[in-house]
Amino acid sequence: MTDTTYMDRFTTPTCSSGDGWLARFAGLNPSVREQVADALLGKTIEIHISPTERCNFRCRYCYEDFKIGRMSSDVVERVKLFASRSIPGKTRCHVAWFGGEPLLATDIILNIQRHVLNTCVDGSIALAGSMTTNGYLLDEKCARALAGLKIQDFQVSLDGTADVHNKVRVAANGAGTFAKIWANLLQLHRSDINFLILLRVHMHPHNFESIRELVRRFGDSFDGDRRFQLLFRPIANLGGENSGTFKTLSDNEFVDRLNQIKGEFSHLQCFGEGNARADKTIKGVECGAHVCYASKPNAYHIRPDGRVGKCTVALNSNSNVVGELAPDGSIKLELAKLRRWTNGLKTLNISELSCPASILSKTSLD
């Protein structure tokens, strides 16, 4: 393994020389060009952190195994040291919190995020914080504490109204979860907190009527509050013990149902960025981003046990373990593995940029 002491030394794949690469770059969507340039210039840093991989839900289509618990105090200190040595000199820092359910370890989140915020303030570095959460613990008190540390963007999933949602997004004890999540959302709606909540509405083969009712209810409760937006996505088979136990929509079925929803509720100002395109360029890709964070050399996923990966989906793949945090906050990095994840920056293949895991799965991703 190679001991890499600074983010600036993380090896970026060398782009093909000559006019070929430049011509391909010029032909990319402007948004993709901007993201590629940002990744290559190395002026930003994107840190995905899972403070725990345990979860208080047992969603019927989840790919995770919940085996790794809370981040130890030792790893917490390593993460803070990593932030201290990797953030200075950058112009922007984005910290994305993931799990499991990250809010089962709120104390760890606040500890690390406070350190990151202080580091960014000292260096006049722009900081953005986001979180993927099931929303069960995201009440006003919690959201206010997070927003105070610049964690202001949240993604919360719903699978329809309670009749459907409670059958698939089930608490670990078997109870329904819709009522608690909805109560939290209403509480946040009544607050003055500055945030953005993207409600990720999952489409299944048999929940269309429930989603229609959910959108109607959303409009009655939240329309006009631009802090709340809807993002529609089909559930996907991403592996794990639940693989093959549920049915999914084809791309065409999803687009058709999405267009029906948008047509019926076009009067609502609640559709989040990205849902209107429905432009999954690779069959089975879930993230929907033009350039996946896993493609970027300036983005890493730090797991509770101190291992460092690229993808938050391929958690059990050895190919996804590209390094580990050392006691001094440096990363002992396997450069050969890293280059394979970031190869899209060399090829500018949109499929590879959008989801390097889907390309690696055809060769070496186990």
Q: What is the mean pLDDT of residues 309-333?
A: 93
Name the more confident of 139 and 38. Answer: 139
Does the structure show a pLDDT above 70 at 331? yes
DSSP 251-299: HHHHHHHHHHHHHHTTT-S-BPTTTTT---SSTT--S--SS-GGG-TTE
pLDDT one-digit tens code per residue, 281-294: 333 334 444 799 99
Q: Which of 43-52, 262-271, 293-302 has the lowest mean pLDDT?
A: 262-271
Q: Which of 77-91, 275-289, 331-345 has the lowest mean pLDDT?
A: 275-289
> Distance (Å, rounded) from C-alpha 198 to C-alpha 13?
33
Does the structure show a pLDDT above 90 at 72? yes
Q: What is the mean pLDDT of residues 226-239?
A: 93
Q: How confident is the model at residue 31 (pLDDT cuts 50, 70, 90)?
A: confident
Q: What is the pLDDT of residue 283?
A: 34
Predicted TM-score (pTM) of this structure: 0.90
Q: What is the pLDDT of residue 3?
A: 40
Q: How confident is the model at residue 183 (pLDDT cuts 50, 70, 90)?
A: very high
- State whether the Cα torsion 315-320-325-326 is positive or negative: positive
Does the structure show a pLDDT above 70 at 277? no
Name the more confident of 9 and 215. Answer: 215
Q: What is the pLDDT of residue 179?
A: 98
Does the structure show a pLDDT above 90 at 1? no
Q: What is the H or E stretch that residue 26 is in?
A: helix 19-26
Strand, coil or helix: what is 202? strand
Q: Are 248 and 237 in contact (CB under 8 A)?
A: yes
Q: What is the mean pLDDT of residues 23-39?
A: 90
Q: Which of 135-144, 264-273, 325-334 has the lowest mean pLDDT?
A: 264-273
State what percent of residues in the chain have pLDDT above 90. Answer: 76
Q: What is the mean pLDDT of residues 239-254?
A: 92
Q: What is the pLDDT of residue 244?
A: 87
Q: What is the pLDDT of residue 223?
A: 87
Q: What is the pLDDT of residue 273?
A: 56
Q: What is the pLDDT of residue 363?
A: 61
Q: How confident is the model at residue 5 (pLDDT cuts 50, 70, 90)?
A: very low
Which of 66, 85, 67, 69 shows the shortest CA–CA distance to 77?
85
> Distance (Å, rounded) from C-alpha 152 to C-alpha 148?
8
